Amino acid sequence: MQRLYNHCQSLAVSTAYHVARSNNAKKLY
């Protein structure tokens, strides 16, 4: 269970990072 939670947490972090990157890219253009 803890392992699954850690996996979901890292997935959420990478998704948030990707969204932040795409938002920054939209601001640049």
Distance CA(7)–CA(28), nearest Å, equals 32
Instruction: Encode pLDDT of 1-29 as tens digits.
Output: 889 889 989 999 999 999 999 988 877 65
Domain ranges in the chain are 1-29
Query: Model's pTM, two decimal places?
Result: 0.58
Predicted local distance difference test score (pLDDT) of residue 1: 80
Predicted local distance difference test score (pLDDT) of residue 3: 93
Rounded to the nearest 5 percent, the helix, strand and coil shares of the chain are: 95, 0, 5
